[in-house]
A and B are shown apart, each in its own frame.
Chain A
């Protein structure tokens, strides 16, 4: 372990907030009262909520210690497949925090918010250019929210055609959010299997596509990290029966500047700005999930729309075919600002290089570990590669054990047990921002874990050994939930 990043050392303990509370402490500077007290009807007034009473330094030390129990992307390599944990440039946070943006009210008049509207307008154009689409909305709050917006657009389009449909085709490699989003629109999922090579075959789609099917939801590159080579043909089959093609853009990081999804026959695509465009994941969000659509679907996008006129930018609220509104205001503007800054920093060549190096890094990991881990589909991969624990079956060591042990070597584990189509999946997405040196360390660490699985499996069964806590009892947590202190 000497040549890996490793972990170990001093870990502080820290009590819960209310255990530190002492009557009479207050950590905020109370604003000056320069107006008289206005008494509210006592019948409406409640007791002061029992929030903790702390000093400012208590608060600082509390959250500093908590943060040290977290593994962040800045702490080490975070190769979660499908999650695109790439470096989050610090300069982008600076842009979102500029007083003109941070202090902007979302309902001020258009002429007082020209800078924000200009940014939104151009961001829509950039995303449309990257995907080859005609129009974009930045309103959806996250990838799943974008999926829902996209499905609502598809639903509204069918409604406008005068013939609503009841089903949607979803391959077995789809993210769990796909079927959940479709069912919110009342569509029943028709699940189909990918072919022997890990990609969809036109035959499988043709067999189920009919005039009661609204379309297909397809992730490309798919969750096995493979490019859907038959996508255009599949899209043609769906279109011929009057359906639409929804593209899950979670894996756009592999193909930016290489191919435009619109050219593959996709009609609607969502982006995860917190994946492809480098905004921080925040321990689970906030993200941002814009969607881009082909020209025919543009009238259905949520309102308000941003429009450029001779007198500047304005918000347009009255588009009669719009699905309505997805979020209270203009989307996660603070996240959009960061992604805009990223695109402006990278330019066309930079974004294309991102795809190339993301794919190079994933293929390098695949080549480095394929003698140690079972590779279910030995095909050229895109931005991620999927292994399994099949080689470890004899040792009783599972994917989970290896994932937990890799923590002790100073790496975040890959995504595990997804996609469901592969048993015991280990899904590794290194992203383009990891250097060859880091990848070499990761490969060496994983090889060491595989060796331990054979020689000293008990070390893996009890892993991880170095974090603040060991494996947690999730069964009791769910059976007897304790959700507040």
Chain B
């Protein structure tokens, strides 16, 4: 096997040095009766060329961007990825390094993450960002756990029912053994969270919403702040489409305590949902409550500026069972990818691309309304929106799949009240022609 460099002569010399008669002798401490008799039942090894053919066959069965037109967001978004990003991120000094526990020979990763932390706080109007989490769902769950730790006597949080359904499922999974409770805030008629319902909730550690929410609607974050304050609860907000902050007023400016988000839109391939990028950022007063790694600036013995992992006394390898979280590996390489993306698009590019996303989505919505759909909610949106479908659309959508077009996500299984409603998304990757073709198919197909 080409990854294993041992020649028969090497093996013989090494065994002589270690004092073993043969390779089997190395395992003398494993009781004989438990050793595998025979071999593992796995497929025969493939050559590099056979592997390529096999994987080509598997991957080519997939419906995927850009070959297929997938008008779908819901937590995973098709965006252009500038060529410099895959080129730079695949440099093996980044990709094949371990966690930067030895800072003298890890300054590349460390400065890169420090720049990531800086740009994320700039984007979201917060003061401190961690070096990453797994994805938005885990970051949001950790944010809620911070609130529960801060408000020791309380064991409930209020979470909007318009937070991504998968994220709410994850929160329940994490909460179950600890006995914490998530109370869902219902939906108002305009497709946003019914904040008035929070007034009747007592003893809550946090009020959490997602904006833009799962239906694409932009939430009233000022209203959430007021409501959270009136309940002496933390104001937590999440997002799945980071590009929205190139255009929208950021959550920090509304006084959010903690912001959790998904960074996949920043140069990271959709890749069937992972690995993505969990963003966890907050105001400075929560810095010692945040789980996960932080990079800080310092100086070396010669006075040169450098970077280190810092405040690690919060972490599991020091505090063990008293740690704020069990997180160890994070999604660091994707954080670096996002930093590269934000540096590449810059102040000018992020604004332009965000505006184009909104323009394309607005254009698609108008086309679909013209083709017989009804607007479900009048609330402003960024690049996703829900529509009520005309009769018989379900059948048409099935037929479109055969043409390689995925036209919206059925919302009924997530919100039974939204029968015949579909969630659509349009980003900068769809041309006017793509959208007009879709509308034509819907209308006449």
Contact = CB atoms under 8 A, between A and B. Distances in A.
A102 B274 CA distance: 9
Contacts of A280: 92, 95-96, 333
B107 interface: yes
A325 B70 contact: no
A368 interface: yes
Contact of B349 (A30, A63, A260, A382): A30
B300 A325 contact: no
A484 interface: yes
A72 B137 contact: no
B96 A64 contact: no
Q: How large is the interface on B (under 10, 10 to 19, 20 to 34, 35 or more residues)?
A: 35 or more
Nearest to B357: A31
B61 A49 contact: no
Contacts of A348: 39-42
Prevailing SS type, chain A contact patch: loop
B35 to A, nearest CB: 6
A478 B348 contact: no
B106 A283 contact: yes
B17 A100 contact: no
B371 interface: no
A334 interface: yes
A73 B331 contact: no
A264 B34 contact: yes
A286 B123 contact: no
Contact of A353 (B4, B63, B356): B4
Contact of A287 (B70, B302, B322, B329): B329
A103 B40 contact: no
Interface stretch (A147-155, A203-211, A236-244): A147-155
Interface residues of A, number: 201
Contacts of A126: 42
Contact of A184 (B111, B326, B353): B326
Nearest to B175: A324
Given A107-B76, A349-B45, A359-B27, A49 B347 contact: yes
A9 interface: no
A30 B273 contact: no
A196 interface: no
Interface in B275-313: 275-276, 287, 293-302, 304, 306-308, 310-313
B316 A108 contact: no
A37 B276 CA distance: 30
Nearest to A16: B115
Contacts of A325: 137, 166, 169-170, 173
Nearest to A138: B274
A68 B333 CA distance: 16
- Residue from the set B82, B253, B344 with the largest chain A CB neighbour count within 10 Å: B344
A314 interface: no
A469 B118 CA distance: 22
A328 B276 contact: yes
Given A75-B92, A357-B6, A360-B11, 16 more contacts: A27-B84, A28-B82, A30-B353, A64-B88, A71-B93, A85-B98, A101-B64, A108-B406, A112-B63, A114-B62, A177-B316, A324-B169, A348-B42, A468-B104, A471-B300, A485-B118
28 contacts: A17-B115, A24-B348, A27-B84, A28-B82, A64-B91, A66-B107, A107-B74, A144-B326, A144-B327, A147-B326, A176-B319, A180-B316, A184-B325, A282-B334, A285-B99, A286-B134, A328-B75, A333-B273, A333-B275, A334-B271, A344-B46, A344-B51, A353-B1, A407-B105, A472-B103, A472-B307, A477-B296, A484-B118
